[in-house]
């Protein structure tokens, strides 16, 4: 799994926000099991609405630096529609859910020029997981956001 430089992560999520990031291989299926805790105890997600979306981005100036991969990120032209990711295995009382990464749903085709094994700047997606907590007593409704950043590269077999 690639390490992204702090400057790259800050472009996507800001200075103090959570960000899941990684480098994936074209047509790879994987998942992240996420657990929300506070003070070592699970956060009850009962009544929350959890959704995740990503959108295709353009990257430039990709460099493998001493501090990780560094690049600039911008809107992809023409701007595509966001892709909804699957949230599964939700156990609200335990504060647990799974984010499914199924690249085949992202509409990348094997002939995409940014997927070519010699591409200087690979396919990129950014997005977020949004956990919407309902109002409870005197506590107003609030959202918790986890940003997402993925590079998708060819494995050299497909393209």
Whether the per-residue pLDDT at 50 is higher than 70: the answer is yes
Residues 42-67 have a mean pLDDT of 90
pLDDT of residue 62: 83
Question: Does the pLDDT at position 1 exceed 50?
Answer: no
pTM reported for the whole predicted model: 0.85
Q: Is 5 a residue whose pLDDT tops 60?
A: no
pLDDT digits (tens, 9 = 90+) for 111-142: 777 887 777 888 888 999 999 999 989 989 99
Three-class SS state of 136: strand
CATH code assigned to 6-153: 2.60.40
Q: How far apart are CA 23 and CA 155, in angstroms?
A: 11
The pLDDT value recorded for residue 14 is 58
Flag whether pLDDT at 67 surpasses 80: no
Domain coordinates in residue numbering, the chain: 6-153
Overall average pLDDT of the 95-110 stretch: 82
Please state whether beta strands 41-42 and 68-75 pair in parallel, antiparallel, or not at all (unpaired). Answer: unpaired
Mean local confidence (pLDDT), 39-58: 93
Asked whether the beta carbons of 71 and 60 are under 8 A apart, the reply is yes
pLDDT of residue 68: 74
Q: Flag whether pLDDT at 81 surpasses 70.
A: yes
Give the whole-angstrom CA distance, residue 81 versus residue 127: 12
Contact between 76 and 56 under an 8 Å Cβ cutoff? The reply is yes
Model confidence pLDDT, tens digit, residues 25-43: 888 888 999 999 999 999 9
Judged against a pLDDT cut of 50, whether residue 70 lies above it is answered with yes
Rg (CA), the chain: 17
Asked whether the predicted pLDDT for residue 12 surpasses 60, the reply is yes
């Amino acid at each position: 799994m690639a390490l992204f430089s702090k400057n790259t992560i800050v472009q996507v999520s800001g200075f103090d926000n959570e960000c899941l990031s990684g480098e994936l291989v074209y047509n790879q299926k994987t998942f992240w099991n996420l657990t929300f805790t506070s003070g070592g105890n699970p956060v009850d997600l009962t009544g929350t609405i959890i959704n995740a979306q990503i959108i295709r981005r353009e990257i430039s100036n990709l460099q493998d630096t001493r501090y990780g991969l560094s690049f600039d990120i911008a809107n992809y032209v023409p701007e595509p529609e966001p892709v909804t990711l699957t949230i599964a295995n939700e156990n609200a009382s335990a504060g647990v859910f799974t984010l499914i990464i199924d690249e085949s749903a992202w509409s990348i085709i094997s002939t995409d020029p940014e997927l070519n094994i010699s591409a200087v700047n690979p396919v990129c997606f950014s997005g977020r997981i949004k956990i919407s907590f309902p109002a409870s007593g005197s506590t107003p409704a609030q959202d918790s956001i986890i940003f997402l950043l993925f590079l998708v590269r060819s494995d050299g077999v497909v393209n």
